[in-house]
Structure formats: C-alpha cells, structure tokens
Amino acid sequence: MESDSNFTSVLPGSRYAGVYVPSQVDYVVEAVANSGPWTILFTLLAILVAYDQVMYIVRKGSIICCDRLDSRYVTQDIQFPGFVKPCVVDVAHKLLGADNWVFLDGRPHVDFRKGLNGLFTRKALESYLPGQEEVYQAYFKKFVQITKENGGQPVPFMPEFRELMCAVSCRTFVGHYISDEAVKKIADDYYLITAALELVNFPIIIPYTKTWYGKKAADMVLKEFSICAAKSKVRMAAGGDVTCIMDAWIKSMLESKRWREAQEQGLPVEGMEKPSPLLRWFNDYEISQTVFTFLFASQDATSSAATWLFQIMAQRPDVLDRVREENLRVREGNIHTEIDMDQLESLKYTRAVVRELLRYRPPVLMVPYVAKKAFPITDTYTVPKGAMIIPSTYLSLRDPEVYEDPDVFNPDRYYSGDAELKGAKNYLVFGTGPHYCIGQTYAQLNLALFVGKASILLDWKHYPTPKSEEIKVFATIFPQVG
C-alpha cells in the first residue's frame, strides 16, 4: 500500500507525537473522531449485544434436558439446596428487582421464607375465602352478560379468565385497598410482563421494546401495591380484621414490633405471645415487591388452569355433573351459600378434578435449575457445575409406569385410585426442594372453589375448532383457540 504524503496525522500535537503509530491505527482514530453521535451509539449497542451473547455462552455451560426417567433422578437431588438453585431469565431481575427475595438462595432464602409461611396456613387461607367468593360471584354474572350481549353466540373466553384470575389474586393478596379500575389495568397490562420474559433479550432495556413495556407494567403494579401497603399498615395498626395476605403479613410485623419494643423498654411480656418468627419492619416498597412475586407466580399459571378446566368440563359432562352434584350437596341445595374451609376441603371429587387437571395440562412444562456444584444423576453421568438442568414436568406427569392411561383425563385416579401415592415424586407441578411453590395449597383450593362455584351458577358449552386441542406456550400453556 502506497503512503499518502499529504495525509496529516490526527495526533500531531499529542503528548506522544514522537512515538511511531501505524497508519492503520491512525485511520481508526480518525474514523472515531469524525463519527456522529448516532454512529457511536449504535456501535456501542452492537458491542454490548455481542458481549452479552459471549458471556451467555461462557456462563451457561451445559444444558441438560431431562426425560421422564432422568427427571426421577434429578428430582431426588434438587431437593437439596446445596446442589441446585432456580434459574430465571435475566430480565426477571429487572422486572421484580435484583434484591427480590425470590432470588435469594441458601440460608437467606430459608429465613425470609419462614416469615411468609404463616400467610398460607389453613387459618390464613380461610380468612381470604370471602374475598374470593365475592370476586367469583361478580365475574360469573359478567360472563353471563357477555354471552347475552353476543346474542348467545360463542365467545373466546381466555382473556376473560386472565382478568378474572388477576382480580381474585389481587383481592386475595391486597384486599379492597386496590380499586376495580386498577385491577382491570393490571389484568390488561400483565400480558406485557409475560411477553417481556423471553429467553433472549438485549442486556439493557431499550425504549419501546418488549422489555421496556414489561418494565413499565411491572413498575405500575409495584406502585399500586405500595399504596395498598400504606393503607393496610394504617388499618392493621387500628386493629382491623385480616382480609388479605398483605393484612396478615403486616399484622405479624406489628406484633413483632410491639414485642421488641416491650423488651427494649423493660415492660412485662407475660401477657404477650412471642411472635414466631420475629419479623423486621418492611417498608411499603419491600412489601409491594414481595406481594408482586405472588402475582408473578400465579397469574399465568391459574389463567392457564382456569381455561383448561372450563374447556375440559364442557367436553366431559359426566365429570361436570359430579362436580355440580358434590357442590350442591355441600351447600345443602342453596347455590348462593358461601362455603367455609371445612366445606371446601370436603369437596373430595372437585379437588381430585383440579389435581388431575394440573397433571393432564400442567401450566408450566419445565422448571430450569442451575447446578451449584457437580453431582451425579445416574451411575454413568455427573452434572457439571454451572450446567442448566431442565426437568420436564410434562413428561414426569405422563409417565406410564406411574399413571395408567396417562393421556386420558381421569379424576378418579386421585379420587379413588393410588396416583397420589405412586406419583408423589413425579408431581412436579409446583416444583420441589427448598424453592417449591409456597402457595401450592392456596392455588389448588382456589381452583376448586372456582370450578365448584361455576358448576352451580353457570352452564357452558365448548365450541371446538381444529386448534382447540393444540397447545400454545406463552410462559404457561393455553389452547390455541380458547
């Protein structure tokens, strides 16, 4: 290449002007110096994306997808916190907050979870029932009105189930501290949060992308729940009754605070019951952040289950008739009677229907974990440290060695059969190990209340399409046409 005698270096006045600089470097420096701001911005963005992809490849290590047989071995090992921890997409940290309790591991996670266990006891769950009944009553009336307004013609109901499940979750989690308008806004925008949780995303949130819209929706929920927390603190301090999860948690905080203050001031505590565990005082945002994780875990999963329940009940009138008969009997023939926890728990067949539905159409098909250290899952294979392990809930729940006719929806396998015992290690619907779903009992009782109440207040028919039985995966599974 011939030299250009007319070329003037861009570095003539620099401190090291006497140092020889290759002409190729000079060209690069000149190009950068003459670049516009947009060129520089897009170049930096490209570098960030490339760096993110390289680091993803470096960090991900091996990916191990388990079939039904491998899942048996893996399930035994993920019971122990020393082996694995849950693995989530990076954007989840941005939506929920990097300091959120669900991302804790080991002892910090165990200690935080102890403070939440009391929110899902039998006594606590019973206190939430009236709010759930109220929501179902209102929305079932709305369902009938929607059908009337459509002239009795078929209506896609999956969007309605998403709104209903968001409403019942909000009523259970934050009570009447949130307005109906805010619930509708959360239900409408929650789709954006789900859409943001794609496996591959930019390392930063860029305006007008899925992650940007998802972050805005998540921030809106956090703001609404923070306002609810402030209201609940005032009401609980005044001695109000517990009507939602937020009330129950804040009441426990107040009791812990009073106990500590009495001890610090040397006051007698004989007449006081020491709270266990003793909770610290959480600010409004911390409460909002934690309660948001309950919505995050439940919204898509319960919407999926509700949609499949209605579709399958319509396809199986024999099952629906038995559910209706059982619920009428418990309510002594009065379709408007609200039930208590004893009556809800007595709905053995209805609960078997829910249990079988979650086996037959598990909302979440797989739950990824990352290996914290190497450990063997068979005699011939050891999972390396850093590997992603993906046990398949779907395959585990259709293991023909455990479930007879696994591709058939049959609630009797839980009502009068031995599926509960034989499938104990296969039932991965709510995860396993120290990070198993804290609200699994609530979720199943809530679905039993939902389908039981619907059976006595509504009649419905499913109009199948060629895609009705095809599965659409959008975080959880839904019928292609619902």
Residues in the annotated binding site: 437
Q: Which helix (H) or strand (E) holds 391?
A: strand 388-391
Residue 148 near residue 172, CB atoms below 8 Å: no
**Coil vs helix vs strand at 84:** strand
Q: Which residue(s) pair with 479 in the sheet?
A: 471
Query: Which residues are annotated binding-site positions for heme?
Result: 437
Angstrom distance (rounded) from CA 297 to CA 280: 24
448: left (phi over 0), alpha (psi -120 to 50) or beta: alpha
Q: Which helix (H) or strand (E) holds 95?
A: helix 90-96
**Coil vs helix vs strand at 284:** helix
Residue 250 near residue 233, CB atoms below 8 Å: yes
Residues in the chain: 482
Task: Quickly count: other Cβ atoms within 10 Å of residue 244's Cβ.
Answer: 25
Give Cα separations from 351 to 144, 283, 356 (angstroms): 25, 38, 9
Q: Give me the helix-helix angle, 440-457 and 158-174, nearest 10°.
A: 120
Phi, psi of 55 (to 5 degrees): -65, -35
Angstrom distance (rounded) from CA 457 to CA 320: 12
What's the token pair of residue 194? 């789900």
Q: CB neighbours of 268 closer than 8 A, spacing ≥ 6?
A: 262
Could you tell me which of 179, 217, 181 has the C-alpha nearest to residue 196? 217
What does the radius of gyration of the chain's CA atoms come to, in whole angstroms? 28
Angstrom distance (rounded) from CA 251 to CA 256: 9
Angstrom distance (rounded) from CA 74 to CA 425: 10
